[in-house]
Amino acid sequence: MTLDELRWMCELFKTQNMSRAVENLYISQPALSQCLRRIEHQLGFKLFERSNKGLTPTKKGTLFYEASLKITDIYQEFLAQASLLDKTELKSLRIGLPPYMSMLYSTDLLKNLHSAYPEISFSLCEAYTNDMKEMLFNNQIQMMVTNEPTQIKGAVSYPFGGSLSVVIFLRKNSPAAQYAYIKNGCQYLDPIYLEDEPISMTRAGQSSRELSEAIFEECGVTPRLLQETRHISTLHHYAKEGITSAIGPETQLVRDLDQEEHLIYRIPETYRWSKIRSRIHILPQINELLPKPMMDIIKNSLMYEREL
């Protein structure tokens, strides 16, 4: 039984029709019929029940189909990994990560990649979103990870992980708190009520800054920017001290900081970016060379949040 014969059988199971299968495979019907009979003889059982309505897989036939799919997938992955040895672009792969993600998950990511693909040299670069964009198109990195709403024209983008709620860090004793409401056990506040609030943001070039600006633009508020910081946790600290309010993602770190203060207010779901996800951005020419299991390793290594 050859790989081509397995591929033919997979197509026959998919269509459950001899005529359609031979059209898709560009082979003759006698050739496919002979192949089916030969495989059934080798196995010692029927793969299909024949009738005027077509072919119906037997229970053993279904098991054969599932096993054949696994075998062909393994073979395709073997070809993909073997091809990496001939691709100079993938002798090394440099991945850009934002600082907070690099701090938490860079060790696991590198360990998992090196273990699965020892023939490739992997390295990480810690940088903010705007810097990573420039590095991506200068081929200083071949892949970058950031949060929505960042979009990169000319790159292939893959979302991963659960959704994060976007929240307001409302400064202690803010008069805007009177407009808050409770829904499903969570505090909500429309950002239009931040119009008279002193505001803090992360620095220009960070995806969290882009997120905050997008929310303010959507609600038609020009923020009264008072402070800038590199760290989302500092935004919460300013709110706790009654200095400024801010907008940012509801990360696990933020939830931990807010256990006693209750300064987090979710943004209503009518806003486009009331929830965000992380995204991997890759140049198209590199994306074509990456085996799917490598992408799965990267995604799984960086799944640092659960949806709430």
Segment 79-83 mean pLDDT: 67
Cβ neighbours for 274, distance < 8 A, ≥ 6 positions apart: 165, 166, 266, 267, 268
Distance CA 140, CA 183 (A): 46
DSSP code string of 17-55:
-HHHHHHHHT--HHHHHHHHHHHHHHHTS-SEEEETTEE
pLDDT at 304 over 70: no
Segment 28-47 mean pLDDT: 92
Determine the distance from the C-alpha atom of residue 77 to the mean position of all C-alpha atoms in its chain, rounded to a whole number. Answer: 21
Q: Give the dihedral sign, CA 208/214/215/216.
A: positive
Higher pLDDT, 161 or 90: 161
> Is the overall model pTM greater than 0.95, yes or no?
no
Residues of the chain with CATH 3.40.190.290: 163-276
Distance CA 205, CA 302 (A): 21
What is the distance between the terminal CA atoms of the chain, rounded to a whole angstrom? 50
> Can you read off the two tokens belonging to residue 14?
């998919």
Structural Rg of the chain based on CA atoms: 27
Distance CA 160, CA 215 (A): 22
Q: What is the CATH number that goes with domain 3-84?
A: 1.10.10.10
Q: Which CATH number among 3.40.190.290, 3.40.50.2300, 3.30.565.10, 3.30.70.360 corresponds to the domain 163-276?
A: 3.40.190.290
Distance CA 18, CA 23 (A): 9
Angle at Cα 97 formed by Cα 79 and Cα 244, nearest 5°?
Answer: 155
> Can you read off the two tokens belonging to residue 224?
């009264």
Residues of the chain with CATH 3.40.190.10: 88-161+277-301
200-254: pLDDT as tens digits: 999 988 999 999 999 999 999 999 999 999 888 899 999 999 999 999 998 877 7
pLDDT at 67 over 50: yes
> Can you read off the two tokens belonging to residue 31?
């050739």
Question: Residue 292 has what pLDDT?
Answer: 82
Angle at Cα 28 formed by Cα 23 and Cα 29, nearest 5°?
Answer: 85
Contact of 240 with 123, CB cutoff 8 Å: no
Cβ neighbours for 290, distance < 8 A, ≥ 6 positions apart: 90, 282
**Helix residue ranges, H only, 93-142:** 99-116, 129-137
**CB-count burial class (<10 Å; 0-12, 13-18, 19+) for 187:** middle
Residues of the chain with CATH 1.10.10.10: 3-84
Question: Residue 250 has what pLDDT?
Answer: 87
Q: What is the CATH number that goes with domain 88-161+277-301?
A: 3.40.190.10
Q: In this structure, which amino acid lies at residue 217?
A: E
